[in-house]
């Protein structure tokens, strides 16, 4: 998969392509169907499939301070869409100028002049251009004029829930925010992943018998509600070839009220290992919520509960999808 930032450096002799456009935060099951459709159309026509996305999130540019919690970093989004068969991951820097480009001008300049779109695939609720004036109908009209096909794909619902839940990034953010990581995983088609770098904490964990890797997370990362979770701890080794390990972990999200902490922390006790993770880039896949964050009267009571958390983590990950 090629990765482009902006449209200034397209390869020479760039021909036609199939384009799908969106923020695609989470690359959830609805996104997966849409992208799958674009990839199939591209294959049928013998053309490359270009996925166009934006950075930063358009909401932040249109209404500063309104950046939604981010389900996937740009790097993770690229990884996930590559698995779906996308040929080009194209990131358009979303600037105030771009937000003011009228819909028809965006189509003409970006989709037609630059990308030479033969087909454009978007969700049926897709809007674009200044004041979100462009929609699937206007895209279709412009496509007839400029010679590309438009496909407005239907939104995908969860059949297990009787179609009551339509998959969307907003719905998944609310699941994560409420700590319902199982519902988030159903909508994503995989557990919600939080990435981070391991930093120093208060140096207390080891004395408790549970050293924890404290994660420093990206600025807008979607962090599950305070509580204790069974997770998979993902660590990519430094060897050649790099080996990725997925280890069971009991994870605490919260301010450590037992010790009257103030900062909200994400800490992972990785089961059955004793290893230095400081400075490492790691990730947590949130599989199940075990309980809420509690303030214990004594350190011993906390330790007893952590032992139970570890046992439940073992059980959940042995029987579940983890
Ligand atoms: C599985 C697990 C469950 C935890 N549950 C709680 C809890 O309910 N209440 C609390 O105050 N701290 C809880 N903690 C956080 C500990 O207080 C924290 O790991 C300890 O203070 C070490 O902090 P440090 O890594 O900054 O040294 C939990 C930690 C783990 C790993
Ligand atoms: N099983 C383990 N799970 C998590 N971290 C571990 C484990 N074994 C060793 N460590 C290391 O110990 C550190 C945590 O020790 P801890 O006493 O909790 O200090 P801190 O407060 O700095 O996190 C981790 O950052 C990691 O480098």
Task: Tell me the torsion sign for CA atoms 40, 285, 179, 222.
Answer: negative
**Contact of 93 with 55, CB cutoff 8 Å:** yes
ipTM confidence: 0.93
User: What average pLDDT does the segment 84-95 reach?
Assistant: 96
Model pTM above 0.90? yes
Cα gap 176→49, rounded to integer Å: 31
Spacing, Cα 33 to ligand 2 middle (Å): 40
Spacing, Cα 229 to ligand 1 middle (Å): 12
Task: Tell me the CA distances in angstroms from 223 to 5, 208, 291, one per residue in order.
Answer: 27, 25, 16
Q: Is the CB of 278 under 6 A from ligand 2?
A: yes
Q: Is the CB of 284 under 6 A from ligand 1?
A: no
**Contact of 87 with 42, CB cutoff 8 Å:** yes
Spacing, Cα 207 to ligand 1 middle (Å): 12
Two tokens, residue 202: 């208060």
Spacing, Cα 213 to ligand 2 middle (Å): 5
Indicate which atom in ligand 2 lies nearest the CA of residue 201. Answer: 21
Q: Is the CB of 204 under 6 A from ligand 1?
A: yes
> Does 107 sit behind a cis peptide bond, omega within 30 degrees of 0 on the bond before it?
no
pLDDT in tens, 4-20: 999 988 898 999 999 99
**Which of 12, 94, 83, 11 has its CA nearest to residue 52?**
94
Cα gap 31→155, rounded to integer Å: 9
Identify the pLDDT of residue 322.
46
Residue nearest to atom 23 of ligand 2 (CA): 201
Residue nearest to atom 1 of ligand 2 (CA): 270
Confidence of residue 61 (pLDDT cuts 50, 70, 90): confident
Any bridge partners for residue 4, and if so which?
A: 90
**Contact of 172 with 188, CB cutoff 8 Å:** yes
pLDDT in tens, 188-205: 999 999 999 999 998 888
């Amino acid at each position: 998969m090629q990765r482009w930032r902006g449209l200034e450096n397209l390869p020479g002799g760039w021909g036609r392509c199939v384009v799908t456009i969106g923020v695609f935060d989470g690359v959830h099951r609805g996104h997966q169907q849409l992208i799958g459709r674009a990839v199939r159309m591209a294959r049928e026509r013998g053309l490359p499939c270009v996925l166009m996305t934006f950075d930063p999130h358009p909401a932040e540019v249109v209404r500063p301070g309104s950046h939604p919690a981010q389900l996937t970093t740009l790097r993770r989004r690229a990884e996930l869409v590559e698995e779906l068969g996308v040929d080009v991951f194209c990131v358009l820097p979303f600037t105030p100028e771009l937000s003011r480009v009228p819909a028809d001008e965006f189509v003409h300049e970006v989709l037609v002049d630059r990308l030479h779109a033969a087909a454009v695939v978007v969700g049926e609720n897709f809007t674009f251009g200044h004041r979100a004036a462009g929609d699937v109908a206007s895209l279709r009209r412009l496509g007839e004029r400029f010679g590309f096909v438009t496909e407005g794909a239907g939104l995908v619902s969860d059949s297990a829930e009787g179609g009551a839940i339509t998959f969307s990034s907003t719905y998944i953010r609310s699941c994560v925010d409420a700590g319902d990581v199982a519902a988030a995983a159903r909508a994503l088609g995989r557990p919600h992943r939080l990435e981070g770098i391991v930093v120093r904490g208060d140096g207390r964990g080891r004395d408790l018998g549970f050293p924890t890797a404290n994660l420093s997370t990206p600025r807008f990362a979607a962090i599950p509600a305070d509580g204790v979770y069974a997770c998979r701890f993902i660590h990519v080794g430094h060897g050649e070839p790099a080996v990725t390990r997925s280890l069971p972990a009991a994870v605490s999200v919260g301010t450590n009220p037992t010790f009257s902490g103030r900062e909200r922390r994400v800490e992972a006790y990785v089961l059955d290992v004793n290893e230095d993770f400081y400075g490492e880039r790691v990730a947590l896949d949130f599989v199940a919520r075990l309980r809420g964050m509690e303030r214990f009267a004594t350190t011993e009571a906390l330790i007893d509960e952590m032992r139970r958390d570890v046992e439940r983590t073992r059980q959940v990950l042995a029987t579940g999808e983890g």
